[in-house]
Amino acid sequence: MKKDIHPRYEPVVFRDRAAGFAILTRSTRSSDTTIEWEDGDTYPVIDVEISSASHPFYTGTSRVVDTAGRVERFQRRYQRG
């Protein structure tokens, strides 16, 4: 590899606050905020909105989405007449 052209590849914690889930992995992304991990070392932490711990596909749960009136609006807009 050529020197000084590749991004740094170092340990980073990805954290899903909604599910209370975090994983230590390696990434080229970094962050100014840090967290103390289970091994006692401090790592940069990146907060994500959704992960396998909170995604409906993996958890088998569904989220409540406000769909009130969507079907009626669709039927009104495209009614045959």
pLDDT digits (tens, 9 = 90+) for 2-20: 888 999 899 999 998 888 8
pLDDT digits (tens, 9 = 90+) for 11-56: 999 998 888 899 999 999 989 999 999 999 999 999 988 887 877 6
What does pTM read for this prediction?
A: 0.65
Give the pLDDT band (50/70/90) at residue 71.
Answer: confident
Contacts 24+ apart (CB under 8 A), 9-12: 11/43, 12/43, 12/44, 12/45, 12/46
